[in-house]
Amino acid sequence: VRRFTCERCGADVAFESSRCARCGSELGYLPEQLDVRVLRQASSPSELTVDGVDHRLWRCLNAAWGCNWVLAAGGPTVWCRSCRLTRGRPDETNTSGIEAWSSIESAKRRLVHQLDALGLTFDERTQATPEGLAFDLVHLPGRPEVSGYFEGVITFDLTEASDERRDELRRQFAEPLRSVIGHLRHEIGHYYWNRLVGADDVTTTESFRRLFGDERVDYPSAIAAYYNPLRPPWDPALHITPYAAAHPLEDWAETFAHHLHISDALETAEATGLAARDRVGTGGATSSSFADLLDRWAPVAAGVNAVAASLGAPDVYPLTPRGPVVEKLSFVHERVWSASQWRWR
Ligand SMILES: [Zn+2]
Ligand SMILES: [Zn+2]
Ligand SMILES: [Zn+2]
């Protein structure tokens, strides 16, 4: 993410901040400004103001569970732009479920911020847009884990928020970067396939199929083949992760997620001064060329891995994208860029 600072005292503050640790100012994230701002009490007790914003604000109703986002006061909803995408969530009496849910919401806010910063639009699921985006963050005890994407709905099993469970799956499926945010980035990749590839012209579809394969191949049998222990070993020169080999649409989703990983990590490295910032913009996908992004990312990845080795920790980024994997990442980048460039002109 970009750098956030307290406008009253100048201290660096986190994306998740609700209060400045140095000067005590109330802070909140304004989605329309992509920024953490100082909040002041308005004359009405539940309302807040921000310098330069002419309408009153509310804190999101999920503030009690760590949401620091704000929204326009007096409107039809009491949830922020990110929280109101959630359709299914655990009951408040389910304390372990609520804990898992709020940690997933925290990762989801990073996702929504990144999509907005990239200028990748989405529709909320309403009566007017029934195919819009919604999240079910749930766990059905005794039932198989249900994470996945179907027609605009991202279902995320709350057990994925458990470090133990995720570590187990990370090893079982050889996915070193398996994480909640990684999972959300994968599932949203399916949503954007429809918007950036599937709904587009014949040339785009043909380019997609040349790189990723034909997405019309039977999905259930492809997934069954992936879970067969006798499947061929993962070839990192062809697919960014083992799961990407399962089906062309999974390859797209994994590649899309990886593109968001690199964009965000590079932006953070440049914003925090870990990497030199020699280009105008806010980092991330603000270059028209993926080769340029990768050139900036490679030394950062090598650097953070070297730092991890100094601390006796495993590689932070144990991958080296090359060959067809880079071509696929470039295709994702080109699709994202063409959908978002209006913002950067
Ligand atoms: Zn401050
Ligand atoms: Zn919220
Ligand atoms: Zn998927």
pLDDT in tens, 305-329: 999 999 999 999 999 999 999 999 9
Q: Measured in angstroms, how far is the CA atom of residue 144 from the centroid of ligand 2?
A: 29
Q: Measured in angstroms, how far is the CA atom of residue 229 from the centroid of ligand 3?
A: 19
Q: Measured in angstroms, how far is the CA atom of residue 148 from the centroid of ligand 3?
A: 6
- What whole-number distance in Å separates Cα of residue 270 and Cα of residue 281? 11
Residue 146's Cβ-count burial label (10 Å; 0-12, 13-18, 19+) is: middle
Q: Nearest 5°: CA angle at 155, between 284 and 100?
A: 80
Q: Provide the CA 250 distance to its chain's centre, in angstroms.
A: 16
| 243 alpha carbon, closest ligand | 3
Q: Measured in angstroms, how far is the CA atom of residue 116 from the centroid of ligand 3?
A: 22
pLDDT in tens, 133-187: 999 999 877 776 678 999 999 999 898 888 787 778 777 777 777 789 999 999 9
Q: Annotate 214-246 with DSSP letters as a single string.
A: -TTS-HHHHHHHHTSTTSPPP-TTT-SSSGGGS
- Best CA proximity match to 60, nearest among 88, 81, 85, 32: 81
| 10 alpha carbon, closest ligand | 1
Distances in Å between the alpha carbon of 140 and those of 37, 143, 157? Answer: 38, 6, 8
Residues with CB under 5 A from ligand 3 (ion): 250, 253
β partners of residue 28: 37
Residues with CB under 5 A from ligand 2 (ion): 60, 62, 67, 69, 80, 83
Structure-block tokens of residue 69: 């986002």
Phi, psi angle pair for 47, to nearest 5° = -105, 155
pLDDT at 189 over 70: yes
Q: Measured in angstroms, how far is the CA atom of residue 81 from the centroid of ligand 1?
A: 25
Contacts of 308 (CB under 8 A, 6+ apart): 314, 315, 316
Contact 125/133 with Cβ under 8 angstroms?
Answer: yes
β partners of residue 305: none
Q: Measured in angstroms, how far is the CA atom of residue 139 from the centroid of ligand 2?
A: 21
Q: Measured in angstroms, how far is the CA atom of residue 242 from the centroid of ligand 3?
A: 12
- The per-residue pLDDT for 345 is 39
- What whole-number distance in Å separates Cα of residue 235 and Cα of residue 75? 52
Residue at 189: amino acid letter: G
pLDDT at 98 over 70: yes
Please tell me whether residue 91 adopts helix, strand or coil conformation: coil
Q: Measured in angstroms, how far is the CA atom of residue 61 from the centroid of ligand 2?
A: 7
pLDDT in tens, 190-225: 999 999 998 768 899 999 999 999 999 999 999 999
pLDDT in tens, 326-340: 999 999 999 998 888
